Chain A
């Protein structure tokens, strides 16, 4: 899949850049945290597939394997960019 970068937008002033949807932020659309794809982009496993294994360290340091940890419950798995910025 050829992924295209969405650089649409305009400079409104010092450190003020608008993107195609009118959001304003200090970096131009298509750079840094605003590196958004234009058109198609990979969204991972499809609906109907088993959720792939996820094994990672939790914030308290213990290792969590989602399929074990969920204990037969449905899952909401959020992939977020960062909780820091």
Chain B
């Protein structure tokens, strides 16, 4: 939360919960963002994101949105949004902060001229609980005059990408976040491809479904393995494709799901069961 304040942003969380339930949540979790109650789903409807797959008499589920996050600039104009099909997972703060800050200024002080692309790969965040997505960030430092490709590319070329190993069972990749590209027409065959200019940051949100965990005396862990691929070209020719393997092992922690009572690893109660009961009956006449 301090990070959002440092970025000069205001955070609002809106749901169809009653204000009283939100007040309990705030107290239980020391939440200091503004929580907005939309018990009749009016705001949710006005955004056009009411989950209409749920029947009106299906309590308490009816009234929820297709969940997601909007980011605006200082003028209130939407600059980014985050929606995924599977609601089990939500974006971690790192992704929202990256969107708030916009394009990263990447260029480190570099001495001399690198002829080759170098890449740094990082897992952003300390943990990977079930229910939250964190991201693998690949930062490519691209020498002047060279560029990388956005997929898809024709056979023979390799697009810049972050890919998980098939073996990373229980680890799920979500929609990659990629920078803007410009179209470039190849002189040879006239193909037009999208290229990234300058240094490039790719982000791959990943989550775990609870089956990737290993347990040892220090706790629960998940391993995320995969590789970053790319091929650098200039206007004349291409370097050979390259790949950089990564392997991260991070604490799995406990899930971020609702608190309906005591249980292993759960955050102290906010009296969730009573609020849930209320939600079951509040619309029944």
Alpha-carbon distance between A67 and B78 when the two chains are bound, in angstroms: 12
Query: For chain B, which range describes its interface: under 10, 10 to 19, 20 to 34, or 35 or more residues?
Result: 35 or more
Determine if B10 and A74 form an interchain contact, defined as CB atoms under 8 angstroms apart.
yes
Given contacts A74-B71, A74-B100, A82-B17, contact A44 B85 (CB under 8 A): no
| Cα-based distance from A25 to B12 in the complex (angstroms) | 28
Query: Which residue from chain B places its CB closest to the CB of A76 in the assembled complex?
Result: B11
A21 touches B86 (CB 8 A): yes
- Say whether A80 contacts B90, CB under 8 Å: yes
Is the Cβ of B35 less than 8 Å from the Cβ of A58? yes
In the complex, A72 Cα to B212 Cα: how many Å?
A: 43
**A73–B74 Cα gap in the complex (Å)?**
5
Q: Closest residue of chain B to A54, judged by CB?
A: B43
Q: Are A41 and B209 in contact (CB under 8 A)?
A: no
* Shortest CB distance A4–B (Å): 8
Tell me, in angstroms, the Cα distance from A22 to B211 when the chains sit together. 8
Beta-carbon contacts under 8 Å, A1-44 to B: 3, 5-6, 19-25, 32-39, 41-44
Is there an interface contact between B35 and A85, defined as CB atoms closer than 8 Å? no
- A to B contact number (C-beta, < 8 Å): 226
Contact A21 B209 (CB under 8 A): yes
In the bound complex, how far is the Cα of B68 from the Cα of A72, in angstroms?
22
Closest to B101 in A: A74
Distance in angstroms between the alpha carbons of A42 and B46 in the assembled complex: 12
Residues of chain B in range 104-137 having any CB-CB distance to chain A below 8 Å: 130
Given contacts A43-B83, A47-B80, contact A75 B69 (CB under 8 A): no
B9, B81, B86, B209: the one contacting A43 at CB < 8 Å is: B81
Chain B nearest CB from A77 CB (Å) reads 5
Within 8 A of A (CB), among B1-50: 4, 7-17, 19, 21-23, 25-26, 34-38, 42-44, 46-49
B42: chain A residues at CB < 8 Å are: 56
Return chain B residues, CB-CB under 8 Å to A48.
77-78
Confirm or deny: B248 has a beta carbon within 8 angstroms of a beta carbon on chain A: no
CB–CB B78/A50 < 8 A? yes
Closest partner residue, chain B, to A44 (CB atom): B47
A41 touches B276 (CB 8 A): no
**Once the chains bind, are A51 and B70 in contact (CB under 8 Å)?**
yes
Beyond A75-B9, A80-B14, whether A85 also contacts B276 by CB under 8 A is: yes
A69 adjacent to B209 (CB under 8 Å): no
Counting from the closest, the 10 A-B pairs by CB-CB distance are A59-B22, A56-B36, A22-B209, A44-B47, A43-B83, A83-B25, A59-B35, A85-B258, A59-B23, A75-B72
Give residues in B with beta carbon < 8 Å to A: 4, 7-17, 19, 21-23, 25-26, 34-38, 42-44, 46-49, 51-54, 58, 60-61, 64-81, 83, 85-88, 90, 96, 100, 130, 170, 172, 209-211, 258, 260, 270, 272, 275-276, 279
* Further 15 A-B residue pairs, CB within 8 A, beyond A5-B53, A58-B37, A80-B15: A22-B170, A37-B66, A43-B81, A50-B77, A55-B43, A56-B38, A57-B36, A59-B34, A61-B19, A74-B7, A76-B9, A77-B12, A77-B69, A79-B15, A83-B25
